[in-house]
Chain A
Amino acid sequence: MEIDVRKKKADHRLLDGERKTSYLCLIPSCIGLIFLTYVPLITVLILSFFNWKGVGTLQWVGLTNYVRLFTKDPYFIDAIKVTVYFSVLAVFGSILYSFAIALLLNQKIPARGFFRAIFYLPYVLPAMAVYLGWSWLYESNWGLFNYILSFLGIGKVKFIGSPTWVVPSLALIAVWLSGNLIVIFLAGLQNVPRVYHEAAEMDGASGWQRFRYITIPCMTPIIFYNLLMSLITNMQVVTPALALTQGGPGNSSRFISYVMYTYAFKDAKLSYACAISFIFFLIIAVFTIILFVTSGRWVFYQGGND
């Protein structure tokens, strides 16, 4: 009895001091989370039910903005298609490209650190400089790519001036920019246990078999993480539209974020843009949930108990 009471008292005191410190340390990030994430999220949802144009009074309109988005808006439905198309291309392209480069960089080649830096470099370059440079590569009449194509005897391609080629062209830039995925894949590759490879070699497995049955299953958590991050980032694409195409020829590169930007800041239709923003949030959430739900089937966690 006495021992129990003493232990309880000690626990209580210990927890008090620790608890206080931990709460104090958590307060700054909580404040940030509340005011920079949750408050804006709820405000956007509430604003989307009004008719606000930046200045003046608020007027309740209920679901009118949402209905208008799907019935009367000339940009939104196309924007969803274009954004999904771009995301699919950019995500699969980035994953394949970064995985391949990571595999290559994992070999013992001379000046490995130098090559790693080279492939990571695009990720740290300022966005406007990148897009300005690529705009000259892609220029429809006098760009470098068209110059090379004419050398090879193939006709000129309009790249970002053509409705069919603009999204693949922008996806190519996104793939080139995916240096951050390479670094994460490399870290994952380092963590594939050597013992599996050695055991398989002793049993006579070829390089390809080892890759397919050891490397890839061990990498699935990393692949899943990169897939998720890449999907969320690429769905929110807006910089190429702002810097290069302004929605592209017609509407062929008019991404959802760009539509939202135009309505919110050029036309000052803030409530309408809030409605777009909220629907966009739901779309991304749906894709994320799909990814999580299907992940159970192909992701293999080594530390788990299955």
Chain B
Amino acid sequence: MKTNKLFFALLFAVLLISVAASIVAAAEPVEITYSYWGTPDEAASVQAVADRFNAEHPEIVVKVMAIPNEEYVTKLNTMATANELPDCGIMNEAGVLDFAEKGLLADVSDMYAGADSMPLDSITFKKDGKPVAYSAANEILILYYNTDMFDAAGLPYPSATEPMTWDEFVATAKKLTLDKNGKNADDPEFDAENIVQYGAVVDNWTWQLEVWALSNGGSWFNADGTEVTINSPEAIESIQKVADLYLVDKVMPYNAGLEDNGIQRSIVSGTVAMATGGTWNVGTSLPGSVKYSVAPLPVMKKEVTICTGGPQVVFSQSKHQAEAMEFIKWYTKEENSWDNLIATGIWMPILEKYYTDEALTKKWIDNPNFPKYEDYKAAVVDYAMNYAVSTSWYYTPHTNEFIEYLRSILGPVWDGTQTAEEAINGGYDYLCSILAGE
């Protein structure tokens, strides 16, 4: 009898424990990881967004994983080999089509099904003409300038509605390049060895150079991304002109084009009067203690700028694709990343309506985080709508390798050892073989 009672008591205990465990398991939220890159400010913003989602959706817990930009594709490649990719994340633009080719991206084509506004076409990643990812944010390249330096030199600010020509840009930069005796670059007694303030920095971080080829009437690839056209005279001339800012015009400090710190080492450090850079700098690096405003890029022959933006993707290795898709859909709704990313200037919205509807535009940029409303509206909002074209990684594969090789052959161009023509013609065949995937 006693053993019987003991037996049933044990059975009952086991039953109780397993019921309790299954209740806990059912109530346990699904955990998904989301990877991204960014400065510490961006990190705080992304964490705030994730916290809001977690609060609104108790059955899913999002854990954010920060990876530095320089190592982003490297880390993802390694995780892909180990089958440990995060569930979702923002994807580095240069690696999107290669990941799609390897089947690592889940299908997101129904993300905007039935929505009232589609993302801009220029920020849609396409493989063989079909969309494979949509940028989570829009970013374009613009010109930043230090208003105090212009005031001190008595020069008018660059116009936000009428971009300068390249020659006007160089002339203005010369007036703003000062040596330690206060003489500017036009002065015959200018001391080029002792410059204390530079007139301009055109960021020569390799992928950004494409905009100058387009501005000069050329391009790096043909329209459907099947041919390399960087050896056209217009494209070559555009790169030489950027290099000549340091070599000939003496208005730019020397830089080997290695990293994205164009705005930090120029406008933010207060040593350069004008600098080109991406619109994300409004939120990530500026204003600091510098008074600045924005204008469109100088024009060589055509008014143009390039747009980019990492897409939000779900990785096909994820074991919780449905939950990850839900987070991504929620995240890409402008309202949800508004306070932390859009209102701070780090991201620009992707839906067309924010660029065409003035009321929505005001809602976006009429706040103290942005420079003067009229400047930003003309130089960024309207310019993006009218003149922005996709950076080539939206439709060409193997961009990582292409850019890496291009960077290595352009090295001698920046310090004058080779001309742009020699460098590009020398490397042209290998660039073509990279595009072909050999």
- Which residues of chain A have a CB within 8 Å of any CB of chain B? 53-56, 72, 74-75, 140-142, 150, 155-156, 158, 161-163, 245-252, 254, 262, 265-268, 270
Contact = CB atoms under 8 A, between A and B. Distances in A.
Given A140-B254, A141-B254, A267-B400, A54 B411 contact: no
A250 B412 contact: yes
Interface residues of B, number: 35
A156 B193 CA distance: 7
B404 A54 contact: no
Given A74-B405, A150-B193, A249-B415, A53 B74 contact: no
Contacts of A156: 193
A262 B77 contact: no
A250 B253 contact: no
A74 B98 CA distance: 21
23 contacts: A53-B102, A54-B77, A54-B81, A55-B80, A55-B103, A56-B102, A72-B433, A74-B405, A74-B408, A156-B193, A158-B415, A161-B254, A161-B256, A163-B411, A245-B258, A249-B411, A249-B415, A250-B410, A250-B411, A252-B411, A262-B404, A265-B77, A267-B401
B427 interface: yes
B417 interface: yes
Given A161-B256, A251-B408, 12 more contacts: A54-B77, A55-B102, A74-B408, A141-B253, A150-B193, A156-B193, A158-B254, A246-B407, A247-B407, A250-B411, A266-B77, A268-B80
A56 B404 CA distance: 24
Contacts of A251: 408, 411
A268 B258 contact: no
A155 B193 contact: yes
B78 interface: yes
B392 to A, nearest CB: 17
A155 B193 CA distance: 7
Nearest to A244: B258
Contacts of A150: 193-194
Contacts of A265: 74, 77-78
B411 A268 contact: no
A214 to B, nearest CB: 50
B135 to A, nearest CB: 22
Nearest to A54: B81
Contacts of B433: 72
B280 interface: no
Contacts of B417: 163
Contacts of A54: 77, 80-81, 102
Contacts of A75: 408
Contact of B256 (A53, A155, A249): A249
Contacts of B275: none
Given A55-B80, A74-B427, A250 B409 contact: yes
Interface in B77-93: 77-78, 80-81
Closest 3 CB pairs of A and B: A250-B411, A249-B411, A54-B81
A54 B82 CA distance: 8
Contact of B411 (A56, A142, A248, A270): A248
A156 B192 CA distance: 11
A74 B430 contact: yes
B104 interface: yes
Contacts of B96: none
A246 B259 CA distance: 9
A155 B80 CA distance: 49
A56 B80 CA distance: 10
B411 A55 contact: no
B32 interface: no
Nearest to A248: B411
Contacts of B292: none
A259 to B, nearest CB: 10
Contact of B408 (A72, A247, A267): A247
Contacts of B294: none
B36 interface: no
A296 B430 CA distance: 47
B414 interface: yes
Given A54-B77, A268-B81, A254 B254 contact: no
